[in-house]
Structure 1
Amino acid sequence: MYAALTSGGKDSVLSIQMAIDEGFDVGYIVCVRPENPDSYMFHSSNLDAVRLIAKRGRMEYVEIRSHGRKEEELADLKSGLEQLPITGLIAGAIASRYQYERVGEIASALSLEIFAPLWQRDPEWIMEQVAKRLDAIIVVCAADGLGDDLLGVHIDDTMIARLKRISSKNRIHIAGEGGEYETLTLNAPFYSEPIHWKEEERHISPGRSELILDGLW
């Protein structure tokens, strides 16, 4: 039995889908909810959607509360995971060695296998898979060249081409691995139906813009 770490973003949801495709028994979706929006490890945007993702995938939802302070949040994650009857952990890390190594340390301490199918894969290949297999939208922009006009835009071939152009000028990671942007996955093959919402609002501040979805269902 595997547990999947996810904030509902494209990378972790794609990793869950790849695990299911390979026959893994994914029984739990684990969401760490940090009080600190600038958490080193975990996203904080639109986390209410993760419970719905678990329901859509017929998985048990597990929420771990954390202050979001560096390193302490890892102890919170470990404490939450050691309560689960699992043998493995699924992570969506791409290139962040900080995230990958720390999740690996927790997995090792708990004698868990780790499945991170996107680790050090070509970012363009990852984005192509996201566009082909998922329906993901941008919900946070936090880098030069990424304006609030991108909020709510779906990750498709046109958006990928735009990210490449922005990357060539502003040197962003096209998959957002450096925190340049965050996504929410509205649909995936393992969902029983897409995620919907009733209302939305935009919070715009210097250096960061966020799309908040309300009335999720």
Structure 2
Amino acid sequence: MHSSREGIDLRLVALVSGGKDSTYAAYLANKAGHEIVCLLSIIPPSEESHMYHYTNIHMMPTVSSAWGLPIILHHSKEDELAELEESLSLLKVDGVCTGAVASVYQKSRIENIAEKLGLETISPLWGCEPEKTLLEMVDEMDVMMVRVAADGLGKEWLGKVLDKRTAYQLIEVCRKYRIHPMGEGGEYETFVLNAPHFKKRIRVV
């Protein structure tokens, strides 16, 4: 758990995309004693954004309902960082929870904004062992593959809900093609249908 106030329970806003990393990070923050009080999703103008995920944006109201928490949806037009700062500045929270895993670009920018606003940053997945963490994720959550963009990951993966067996298969593909096991380079995207902290499961019809 990465925070400058270890051992102090915080009221947090969770930066969420609907994917496995931000969802699992919030779950771990809850387990550590922090309280997620609301969700924040910055909606980028296109999928070319280096800061935010685009794939699940149409599902964010459903995500909010599943978590049982209010969500702030901020449509980014130009300056993604300024718009994140604006959104955070309006919230009465102690800090922000991120799903950052290995992207220094993403994590450092969020931390700089949080520090400017006097907020803590909690990034439970930072520096994790990716294969081990992926297996832990699929044990705790129902994670569906919704986008693939790498050699070795064909359309047969789309719509697949990962369990231990398919997670091991994914890890083998990642090893073979030298893909980050958690898709840090955008090689694949996920959507979480259920997690321990959800109030209700998201059903796909």
Normalised to the residue count of structure 2, the TM-score between the two structures is 0.91
Q: Which has the higher contact order (CA 8 A, sep 6+)?
A: 2
Greater fraction strand: 1
Is 1:10 aligned with 2:17? no
Contact 1:53/1:191 (CA < 8 Å) preserved in 2? no
The aligned counterpart of 1:23 is: 33
Q: Partners in 2 of 1:163 and 1:129 — Cα distance?
A: 14
Runs of 4+ in 1 over 6 A off after TM superposition: none
Is 1:33 aligned with 2:43? yes
Displacement of 1:75 in angstroms is 1.2
Please point out which of 108, 113, 117 is paired with 2:120. Answer: 113
Gap regions ≥5 residues in structure 2: 1-10
Q: What pairs with 1:11-160 in structure 2 (closer than 5 Å)?
A: 11-67=21-77, 72-160=79-167
Q: Partners in 1 of 2:94 and 2:104 — Cα distance?
A: 23
Instruction: Deviation per CA, 1:161-194: give whole Å up to 9, x if none.
Output: 2222212221100110111111000000111211
Instruction: Deviation per CA, 1:10-36: give whole Å up to 9, x if none.
Output: 010001111111221211110111121
Contact 2:143/2:190 (CA < 8 Å) preserved in 1? yes
Q: Partners in 2 of 1:183 and 1:164 — Cα distance?
A: 15
Q: Partners in 1 of 2:203 and 2:74 — Cα distance?
A: 24
In the alignment, residue 31 of structure 2 is paired with which amino acid? Answer: D
The aligned counterpart of 1:201 is: none
In the alignment, residue 21 of structure 1 is paired with which amino acid? Answer: K
What is the RMSD of the two structures over their aligned residues, measured on CA atoms? 1.3
- Percentage of pairs with the same residue: 35
Q: Partners in 2 of 1:169 and 1:126 — Cα distance?
A: 19
Displacement of 1:91 in angstroms is 0.2
Please point out which of 172, 179, 202 is paired with 1:165. Answer: 172
Gap regions ≥5 residues in structure 1: 199-217
Aligned residues: 195
The aligned counterpart of 1:180 is: 187
Contact 2:19/2:191 (CA < 8 Å) preserved in 1? yes
Normalised to the residue count of structure 1, the TM-score between the two structures is 0.86
